[in-house]
Amino acid sequence: MRASRSLSRVALLAARTPALAGARSLSAKPVRLSEEEITSLTPAGWTTVEGREAIERKFQFADFSEAWAFMSRSALAAEEMCHHPEWFNVYNTVHVTLATHDCSGLSKNDMELAARMNKFAGSA
C-alpha cells in the first residue's frame, strides 16, 4: 500500500510540473564553448569536473519521491532537447554530470539543461 501511495505522489508531482512549457529544441550541431563562455554561462551551483570538460552538481531532496520527481522532470526536458545527462541516484541524492559528446566538451546545451535542472530543483 505504501509503495502505491509513493508512486501516486511522484506521478502527481511530475504531472504538476510543466517540464516542457516554453521548451525549445536546441542546436543539432553544438558548438564547443570557450573557457570564458564556460565561466560566464555556468549556472549557479554547478562546478567544472577535474580533468574533464564537463560540469557537475549534486542535488539533495527531502526524500526519494522528490528526487525521482526531479529526475522525471529533467528526463522529459533532456529528451525534448535530445541532450541526456549522466546521473546517479541514491535515495534523496541525485548527482548529475553534463557534457556534450558531439563537440567533445561543453556546449550551450549543457548550460541550458543545467539551468532547467536548477529550476526543477527549486534552486534557480
For position 83, what pLDDT does the model report?
92
Q: What is the pLDDT of residues 88-118, one digit of tens each?
A: 999 999 999 999 988 888 999 999 999 999 9
What letters, b where the CB count within 10 A reaches 16 and e where it falls short, cover 70-83? Answer: bbbbbebbbeebeb
Q: What is the pLDDT of residues 57-88, one digit of tens each?
A: 999 999 999 999 999 999 999 999 999 999 99
Domain assignment present for 80: yes
For position 27, what pLDDT does the model report?
47
Report whether pLDDT(2) > 90. no
- Range(s) of the domain holding residue 12: 2-18+31-121
Ranges of H-type helices in the chain:
2-16, 35-41, 64-81, 108-121
Domain assignment present for 25: no
For position 103, what pLDDT does the model report?
87
Domain assignment present for 74: yes
CA dihedral of residues 120, 97, 42, 46 (deg, nearest 10): 70
Q: Taking each helix axis as running N to C, give the angle between helix 64-81 and helix 2-16, from 0 to 180 degrees, rounded to the nearest 10.
A: 40
CA Rg value for the chain: 15
Domain assignment present for 23: no
Domain assignment present for 41: yes
Report whether pLDDT(15) > 80. no
Report the number of distinct structural domains present in the chain.
Answer: 1
Domain assignment present for 24: no
Domain assignment present for 26: no
Answer for the pair 38, 48: CB distance below 8 angstroms, yes or no.
yes
* CATH code: domain of residue 100: 3.30.1360.20
